[in-house]
Amino acid sequence: MHAPFVSATRLSIGSDADLAWVRQQVRQAAAALGFGLVQQTKLVTAVSELARNTLVHGGGGHMEMTPLAEGNRVGLRLSFVDRGPGIRDLELAMTDGYTTGGGLGKGLSGSKRLVAEFAIDSRPGEGTTVTIADWVSGVPSPRAGAS
């Protein structure tokens, strides 16, 4: 099979409707790249968390979606960018159950567990960028070793 065609895209995140659109676009891209159902579900769930953070805590922003090809691996990188208040204490924000907004506080910590790569870059007063990446696993069954 040849590399499936998924182009780099930038989608704005400004409303609840945008969240639904972003999830749908990522699900489609992930399916086209060959992600299995479980991996798709995990990736889309992480996207839902991070896009909602961009909207709710960051005051809106956008998502950049980039298909990845490295050797014979295929993957997807997603960046969530906002120019909001930023996060003062990253370690605290990444703590399970920590929330400043009456949520469950599982968005950041949980999405980190759902994907292969997770990076967060935030400066108080300047904004936040969260980047995740995931790779299509060789075997169709869920990846082992996720702890």
Partner 1 sequence: MQVAEHETALDVTRELSDFLERRREQIAQRWAEASLFRAVFTVSRDEAVEACKAVVDALAEVARGGRPEDLRAPGFDSVREQLGRMAASRAKAGYTPSQIAGEVAGLREPVTSLLRAEYDDPADPRAQANEIALTILIGTLRLVVMETTVDAGEELIARQRQQLLEVATPVIRLWDGVVAVPLIGTLDSARSQIVMESLLEAIVDQRARYAILDITGVPTVDSLVAQHLMKTVAAARLMGAECIVSGIRPAIAQTIVQLGIDLGTIITRAGLSDALAYALSQQGIVVSPRPAMGGNAR
User: Which residues of this chain interact with partner 1, rule CB under 8 A?
Assistant: 16, 19-20, 23, 27, 37-38, 40-42, 44-45, 48-49, 52, 96, 103-104, 106-107, 109-111, 113-114, 142, 146
Q: Which stretch binds ligand ATP (CB under 6 A): 13-21, 27-35, 54-62, 65-73?
A: 54-62
Q: How far is the CB of 39 from partner 1 (least distance, A)?
A: 9
2's tokens: 């040849």
Number of other CB atoms surrounding residue 74 within 10 Å: 18
* Nearest to 133, CA basis, from 72, 85, 70: 70
Q: Which of 49, 63, 114, 135 binds ligand ATP (CB under 6 A)?
A: 49
Rounded Cα gap, residues 9 and 5, in angstroms: 12
Could you give the 3-state DSSP secondary structure of residue 14? coil
Of 107 and 127, CB closest to Mg ion: 107
Q: Which stretch binds Mg ion (CB under 5 A): 11-19, 49-57, 78-86, 109-117?
A: 49-57
Residue 6 C-alpha from the chain's centroid? 17
